Amino acid sequence: MRIGILTGGGDCPGLNAVISSVARRSWDRGHELVGFKYGWRGVIQDQSIPLTRDIVRGIMREGGTILRSSGENPSHGGDRPARVLATLQRHEIDALIVVGGEGTMRGALEMWRDHGLPVVGVPKTIDNDLPGTQMTVGFDSALAIATEALDRLATTAESHDRVMVCEVMGRTAGWLAMESGIAGGADVILLPEMDLTVEEAASIIKRRHAEGRNSSLIVVGEGYTLRSDTGLFDGLEESEQLDAYGYPRLGGVSQHVARAVEELTGYETRVTILGHVQRGGPPTARDRSLAAQFGVFAADLVHDGVFGKLVAQVGQDVVAVPLEETEGDARVVPEELFDTVRGFMG
């Protein structure tokens, strides 16, 4: 077989580990691998490279993606689906492995359901918000970076009797904020899913300081909606900027949180927005291992002629679920966990 592979959407650590694992397994079974560059754009515009042993050697540990990435998608309409099919026919591709998050999978599903393209999806995103799987490649690495950042912020906060507000990514899902907040000992964890106000956050901090602490850590997920019982955020304009998928570009909510907390508590407050640092650098061992399992499983599905599936982690198992499961709302932190999160604050 000739198997195509692409990486789409925002990058994350572990993409190269997926490529490497798909390649090894496919070669072992006598197949050839072709990489399409810049996600779906490379298929639409016919930009590809043969993935040889020389190109793939040693990439397991490398961050980013040797195939590059973009948010472009055949589901954006026009003649794109036809161009995708034409490119794949030209290269005699028998199946396409699509490594991506929600936006990229939307394209995979459309090409499978509406155009019969033999696709298999592999989930990745630092947000861990793709429906259908409990874990995505990249999350563990971003979590490690965010947790280390909180560890580092804790010591400088203590030296200067400060409150530190650390903003992490994750869009509308609070997985990164919740898990780094718990692991990194944050005193306040502001998730997009929970309706905590800044006044509640400030009172948690005041209570801590009244009990003898002189510094505090707040972690806030970038998708947190600013909430105040006393109208502190009235009149703030929402960002008008949209990303390649048409979602609002997030980032910066922590500035407002910090200003409000400083005003309400009187404690000197500083802000750190971790941003794309969370997406860079080498993957953790856990992400490499997950990428390896997912990559091998995807290559096996293709070898067995099973298409229209997403490789997913369900419980402790790696399984194939219908690509349709990636449709719908983002997988967010469920209400059952809110009490647990509250239990770690203060």
| Residues with catalytic roles | 127
The interface with ligand F6P within residues 160-189 (CB under 6 A) comprises 169-171
Answer yes or no: are the C-beta atoms of 210 and 267 closer than 8 Å. Answer: no
CB of 99 to ligand F6P, least distance (A): 14
Q: Which of 43, 67, 166, 250 binds ligand F6P (CB under 6 A)?
A: 250
Query: Considering beta carbons, is residue 100 or 184 the nearer one to ligand F6P?
Result: 100
Query: Considering beta carbons, is residue 243 or 262 the nearer one to ligand F6P?
Result: 243
CB of 244 to ligand F6P, least distance (A): 7
The interface with ligand F6P within residues 16-75 (CB under 6 A) comprises none
Window 286-305: contact mask with ligand F6P (x via CB under 6 A): --------------------
CB of 168 to ligand F6P, least distance (A): 8
Answer yes or no: are the C-beta atoms of 39 and 9 closer than 8 Å. Answer: yes
CB of 106 to ligand F6P, least distance (A): 14
H or E segment to which residue 151 belongs: helix 139-160
Query: Considering beta carbons, is residue 37 or 124 the nearer one to ligand F6P?
Result: 124
The interface with ligand F6P within residues 78-107 (CB under 6 A) comprises 101
CB of 243 to ligand F6P, least distance (A): 5
Site membership for ligand F6P, residue 245 (CB under 6 A): no
Q: How many residues bind ligand F6P (CB under 6 A)?
A: 12
DSSP string, 295-332: HHHHHHHHHTT--SEEEEEETTEEEEEEGGGG-SS---
The interface with ligand F6P within residues 109-148 (CB under 6 A) comprises 125-127
Long-range contact set of residues 251-256: C-beta below 8 Å, sequence gap at least 24: 251/167, 251/222, 251/275, 252/167, 253/167, 253/220, 253/222, 253/223, 253/224, 253/226, 254/165, 254/166, 254/167, 254/220, 256/226
Answer yes or no: are the C-beta atoms of 280 and 6 closer than 8 Å. Answer: no
Q: Which residue has the tokens 């630092």?
A: 126
Written as six digits, the tokens of 56 are 């793939």
Query: Considering beta carbons, is residue 90 or 249 the nearer one to ligand F6P?
Result: 249
Site membership for ligand F6P, residue 243 (CB under 6 A): yes
H or E segment to which residue 183 belongs: helix 175-183
d(CA 255, CA 249): 16
Query: Considering beta carbons, is residue 126 or 164 the nearer one to ligand F6P?
Result: 126
Answer yes or no: are the C-beta atoms of 43 and 84 closer than 8 Å. Answer: yes
Query: Considering beta carbons, is residue 168 or 302 the nearer one to ligand F6P?
Result: 168
Site membership for ligand F6P, residue 279 (CB under 6 A): yes
CB of 53 to ligand F6P, least distance (A): 31
Q: Coil, strand, or helix at residue 269?
A: strand
DSSP string, 86-126: HHHHHTT-SEEEEEE-HHHHHHHHHHHHHH---EEEEEB-T
Closest CA to 271 of 253, 293, 296: 253
Binding site for ligand F6P (CB under 6 A): 10, 101, 125-127, 169-171, 222, 243, 250, 279
